[in-house]
Amino acid sequence: MPSVVIEEIRHRVAIAGSVTNAVTRQGIPDIQVTVTELNLRTQTREDGSFYLLDLPVGQYELVISGSQLGKYYGTSEPIAVRVADATNGQPIFDPQAHIKLQPTQLTGKVTRQDNNQAIAGAMIKLRGSSIQTVTDKEGKYLFSELPASTQTLEVTARGFATATKTPTFTAGQQITINFQLA
């Protein structure tokens, strides 16, 4: 009697997603994505995308980690995803695996002390670094992805006295600091 070989049919299912900056919507590379139940890990690519292939059908918890978290971005709670069965032999990608991280962000406005008018072209920089920006025509400025730490901000504009403030930034925090120049 011939022997019968029984092969286990393996369903191909997958989790695909991305880790992005919540403000700029740009992908964040080098973030580790872990499926805690399987101790399975992958790293985000240059565009922030990640793929976890050949998973058994089930519900999983994704945890992200990396050196940028807690420094330039706030942390993320674990994300629950459900991987369903493939019906046509193609992997199923869960659309809910897109993770948006809030960057440490500073916004503000620079105005004249005497009449509160906006100062366009004022230079705002983090002292001791190359991080700097210039105010727009409304006197507004924005820094995104700042390192979490205590920083000295310095504002200069032609015809005005230099002003400084020394705030402490927490990872993922959004703060507003306005300046009035004399």
Q: Residue with structure tokens 């674990």?
A: 78
* One-letter amino acid of 123: M
Entry pTM: 0.73
Per-residue confidence of the chain (182 residues) as pLDDT tens digits?
A: 455 554 544 556 678 889 999 888 999 999 999 998 888 999 999 999 998 887 777 788 889 999 888 888 888 888 887 776 655 555 555 546 888 999 999 999 999 999 999 999 999 999 988 999 999 999 999 998 888 899 999 999 999 999 999 999 999 899 999 999 99
Measured CA angle at 42 (ends 81, 36), to 5 deg = 45
* Residue 13: both structure tokens together: 């299912």
Which residues have CB under 8 Å from 134's CB, separation 6+?
Answer: 121, 122, 123, 124, 141
Q: Which domains does the chain have, with CATH numbers?
A: 15-101 (2.60.40.1120), 105-181 (2.60.40.1120)
Report the distance separating Cα 11 and Cα 53, nearest Å: 11
pLDDT at 15: 83
**CA 131 to each of CA 86, 87, 99: distance values in angstroms, whole numbers, following the listed order:** 48, 51, 26
Q: Residue with structure tokens 């019968």?
A: 4
Report the distance separating Cα 154 and Cα 179, nearest Å: 10
